[in-house]
């Protein structure tokens, strides 16, 4: 592959990723972090491909990404969906799990590759949960709370032996949301 071809294909990957992330209603700052595109460029892509194109459901989101880890653990249904997403991060090779339940960023991935894997995980999650409790931005925040700050980790459940998303500093009853819902026969409504 010639250098110009390679540069063209790398640029195309970034462009495709930006479009994919806009479809997921990712914030401009998040798209910038993955593609390196300027705010102006993202605005133009949004304007050219989404504004008035009939894709009225796609909203452009500005501002900061949400950041509150208790949102992932303070309700059983949300904790369950966060756990599904964390499992998909691992399946899509966006992260690696150690024996202690801590997830680290996948080695050897650049920011575009990471963005693609997170999109893949989020799309699979949307397939499993057509009425999702977690937006793309919450998924982004979940990922960073797992791999960067390690405020969240995958705790072991004494009931089923599986792992689930838990606050690393909270009192833990070692019951995963799947066992919790099975025991209480609770329907995911909260
Ligand atoms: Zn369990």
User: Residue 169 belongs to what domain range?
Assistant: 70-184
Residues 87 and 35 in one domain: no
Q: Is 162 helix (H, G, I), strand (E, B) or coil?
A: coil
DSSP structural state of residue 131:
S
178 is a domain residue: yes
Helix ranges restricted to H, the chain = 3-23, 28-35, 39-49, 70-73, 76-91, 111-128, 136-147, 177-184
Residues 75 and 156 in one domain: yes
Residue that has been written with the tokens 């995963």 in this structure = 176
Residues 98 and 175 in one domain: yes
Question: 188 alpha carbon to ligand 1 midpoint, in Å?
Answer: 16
Residues 107 and 40 in one domain: no
57 is a domain residue: no
Residues 133 and 172 in one domain: yes
Residues 27 and 106 in one domain: no
Residues 45 and 92 in one domain: no
Question: 158 alpha carbon to ligand 1 midpoint, in Å?
Answer: 6
pLDDT at 140 over 70: yes
Residue 187: pLDDT band with limits 50, 70, 90: low
Q: Which string of DSSP letters, residue by residue, matches 71-122?
A: HHHSSHHHHHHHHHHHHHHHHTTSEEE-TTS-EEEPTT--HHHHHHHHHHHH
* Ion ligand 1 residues within 5 Å by Cβ: 157, 159-160, 176, 179
65 is a domain residue: no
* Burial label, 115 (beta-carbon count in 10 A; 0-12, 13-18, 19+): buried
Question: 173 alpha carbon to ligand 1 midpoint, in Å?
Answer: 11
Q: What is the pLDDT of residues 53-86, one digit of tens each?
A: 555 556 666 666 556 889 999 999 999 999 999 9
147 is a domain residue: yes
Q: Is 29 helix (H, G, I), strand (E, B) or coil?
A: helix
Number of domain units in the chain: 2
- Which residues contact residue 172 at a Cβ distance below 8 angstroms, ignoring those fewer than 6 apart? 155, 166
pLDDT at 121 over 70: yes
Residues 85 and 158 in one domain: yes
Residues 86 and 24 in one domain: no
Question: 154 alpha carbon to ligand 1 midpoint, in Å?
Answer: 12
Mean pLDDT, the chain, rounded, equals 89
Residues 32 and 74 in one domain: no
Residues 8 and 87 in one domain: no
Residues 116 and 175 in one domain: yes
**Pick from 64, 33, 141: nearest CA to 14:** 33
64 is a domain residue: no
Q: Is 27 helix (H, G, I), strand (E, B) or coil?
A: strand
102 is a domain residue: yes
């Amino acid at each position: 592959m010639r250098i110009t071809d390679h540069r063209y294909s790398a640029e195309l990957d970034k462009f495709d990723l930006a479009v994919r992330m806009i479809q997921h209603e990712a914030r401009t700052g998040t798209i910038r972090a993955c593609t390196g595109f300027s705010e102006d460029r993202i605005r133009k892509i949004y304007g050219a491909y989404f504004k008035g194109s009939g894709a009225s459901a796609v909203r452009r989101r500005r501002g900061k990404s949400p950041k509150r880890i208790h949102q992932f653990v303070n309700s059983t249904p949300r904790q369950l969906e966060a756990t599904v997403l964390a499992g998909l991060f691992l399946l899509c090779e966006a992260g690696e799990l150690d024996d202690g339940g801590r997830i680290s960023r996948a080695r050897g991935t650049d920011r575009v590759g990471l963005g693609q894997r997170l999109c893949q995980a989020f799309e699979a999650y949307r397939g499993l949960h057509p009425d999702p409790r977690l937006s793309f931005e919450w998924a982004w925040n979940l990922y960073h709370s797992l791999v960067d700050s390690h405020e969240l980790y995958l705790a072991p459940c004494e009931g089923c032996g599986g792992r689930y998303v838990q606050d690393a500093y909270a009192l833990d009853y070692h019951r995963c949301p799947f066992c919790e819902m099975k025991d209480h026969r609770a329907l995911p409504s909260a």
